[in-house]
Amino acid sequence: MAAIDLIGIGSQSLTHLPPKLTSVKALLAESPALSSLPSSYTFPEHRNDEAFSDTNESIPTLDFSLLTSSNPDERSKMIQELGNACQDWGFFMVTNHGVPESLMKAMIEACRQFFELTEEEKGEYEGKHVLDPIRSGTSFNASVDKVLYWRDYLKIFQHPEFHSPNKPPAFREIAMEYSTRVRQVARELIRGISESLGLEENYIEKAVNLENSLQIMIANLYPPCPQPELAMGLPAHSDHGLVTLLIQNEIGGLQVQHNGKWVNVDPIPNSFLANIGDHVEILGNGKYKSVLHRAVVNNRDVRISIALSNGPALDAAVSPASKFLEDGRNPPTYRAMKYKEYVELQQSNKLDGKSCLERIRNTTI
Ligand SMILES: O=C(O)CCC(=O)C(=O)O
């Protein structure tokens, strides 16, 4: 991770701070009485000016057990609901998914313990390249972020090869079980999405070589922030890949864009919050859209979220399914790009809305 020079530490004296800090956690450890936000973290956009949804609309909830039901009527009703959720929101909560709540909690606890490690211990996983299989860092991409985000992270590639930090001791075993279980849920959702798009159940699986899918765990730590209204945990972005499944400790902070307005997400306990990624948008030639979301911070509680991104295989070049091109009458909205290049592109630049997807939009149509 790039070391960060923190400048403008508000009311705190700079003399107490080491010249370089590597995480928000380290900043707070050095300045426990920090009462104003360092200017390097001051987000330029004013959130108060933005539109928030004032309706009671909430993200749809899908009962996963019905998606895997042997009763064809129940399953086809769920496929319909899944399609509606993808089309209307791009986000949905998944209940009755079969992943034990104790495992979800253990995963959050293992991530919390990882973030408690010393800066030196975490520094062992300071990624040099965005495709390094384990990366611990801060902000999004501290070497290019003009403003730092109030967020520390741990990113781990868990499939097709499983990686894990060696500390804390229980991390590996919990993460292996958790990633396997989540992959099974993601696979069923991907089959359902394929069918809801009017494709064969296994169309997406085959098109992206799901056997070798890239699964990445992204654990986020958002410590309490002295001036949360001026800071940002993660700015508005869509996800690369097919389906992301997110859990969090009990603390909210995720906001989703819906009909041009931000909606606060209040997940149901013991559920996954799922969203479709850019590669579902590409495969469906824009029928379903990946949706902007962001993480805001608060001044009271530590928030931890864990997103498992389930994507194509690294060497799969994903392009719109021919069904959507109607024998050449509908041009492809997106050009094919290898997933590896797509991930590299997104992770090496500023996190900026859907700019990565825009880069492969076909401009000749
Ligand atoms: O922390 C959250 O709720 C959002 C995390 C997220 O969007 C991400 O890790 O890409």
Cβ count within 10 A of residue 51:
10
The ligand 1 atom at the shortest distance from the C-alpha of residue 218 is: 9
Tokens of 292: 């902007």
Pocket test residue of 305, 308, 310 for ligand 1, highest count of atoms within 8 A of CB: 305
Q: Please tell me the residue having the least CA distance from ligand 1 atom 4.
A: 295
Q: What is the CA(295)–ligand 1 centre distance, in A?
A: 6
Pocket test residue of 108, 140, 154, 220 for ligand 1, highest count of atoms within 8 A of CB: 220
The ligand 1 atom at the shortest distance from the C-alpha of residue 220 is: 1
Pocket test residue of 234, 239, 263 for ligand 1, highest count of atoms within 8 A of CB: 234
Helix axes of 101-116 and 171-196: crossing angle, nearest 10 degrees: 120
Within 13 Å and on the Cβ side, how many CA atoms surround 8?
8
**Measuring from each residue's beta carbon to the nearest atom of ligand 1, which residues come in under 6 Å?**
218, 220, 234, 239, 246, 253-254, 293, 295, 305, 307
Q: What is the CA(306)–ligand 1 centre distance, in A?
A: 7
Q: What is the CA(234)–ligand 1 centre distance, in A?
A: 7
Tokens of 279: 């590669």
Q: Looking at residues 186-201, what average pLDDT do you find? A: 98
User: Exposure string (b/e) for 273-295, b if CB count within 10 Å is 16 or more?
Assistant: bbbbbbbbbbbbbbbbbbbbbbb
The ligand 1 atom at the shortest distance from the C-alpha of residue 254 is: 3
The ligand 1 atom at the shortest distance from the C-alpha of residue 303 is: 1
Q: What is the CA(184)–ligand 1 centre distance, in A?
A: 21
Q: CB neighbours of 166 closer than 8 A, spacing ≥ 6?
A: 172
Q: CB neighbours of 83 closer than 8 A, spacing ≥ 6?
A: 193, 196, 197
Q: What is the pLDDT of residues 211-236, one digit of tens each?
A: 999 999 999 999 999 999 999 999 99
pLDDT at 3: 40
Q: What is the CA(96)–ligand 1 centre distance, in A?
A: 22
pLDDT at 46: 61
Three-class DSSP category at 69: coil
Residue type, 47: R
The residue with greater pLDDT, 22 or 94, is 94
Q: What is the CA(218)–ligand 1 centre distance, in A?
A: 8
Q: Please tell me the residue having the least CA distance from ligand 1 atom 7.
A: 294
* Cis peptide bond upstream of 320, omega within 30: no
Query: Across-strand partners of 206?
Result: none
Instruction: Answer yes or no: are the C-beta atoms of 283 and 321 closer than 8 Å.
Output: yes
Instruction: Answer yes or no: are the C-beta atoms of 297 and 233 closer than 8 Å.
Output: yes
pLDDT at 17: 36
Location of structure tokens 């098109």: 207
Within 13 Å and on the Cβ side, how many CA atoms surround 279?
33
Maximum mean pLDDT: which of 7-11, 325-329, 351-355: 351-355
Tokens of 85: 């959720």
pLDDT at 9: 38
Q: What is the CA(272)–ligand 1 centre distance, in A?
A: 13
- Spell out the long-range contacts of 345-348 with Cβ–Cβ below 8 A and sequence spacing 24 or more: 346/240, 347/130, 347/131, 347/141, 348/130, 348/141, 348/144
Q: Calculate ∠ Cα 90-295-284, nearest 5°.
A: 20
Domains of the chain: 42-359 (2.60.120.330)
Pocket test residue of 216, 246, 257, 354 for ligand 1, highest count of atoms within 8 A of CB: 246
Return the percentage of the chain with pLDDT > 90, whole number. Answer: 81
Q: CB neighbours of 68 closer than 8 A, spacing ≥ 6?
A: 75, 188
Q: Which of 12-26, 93-107, 174-188 has the lowest mean pLDDT?
A: 12-26
Q: What is the CA(244)–ligand 1 centre distance, in A?
A: 9
The ligand 1 atom at the shortest distance from the C-alpha of residue 293 is: 7
pLDDT at 326: 76
Q: What is the CA(79)–ligand 1 centre distance, in A?
A: 26
Q: What is the CA(331)–ligand 1 centre distance, in A?
A: 33
Pocket test residue of 257, 293, 356 for ligand 1, highest count of atoms within 8 A of CB: 293
Of 12, 3, 46, which Cα lies nearest the Cα of 31?
12
Q: What is the pLDDT of residues 128-167, one digit of tens each?
A: 899 999 999 999 988 888 899 999 999 999 999 999 999 9
Q: Please tell me the residue having the least CA distance from ligand 1 atom 3.
A: 254
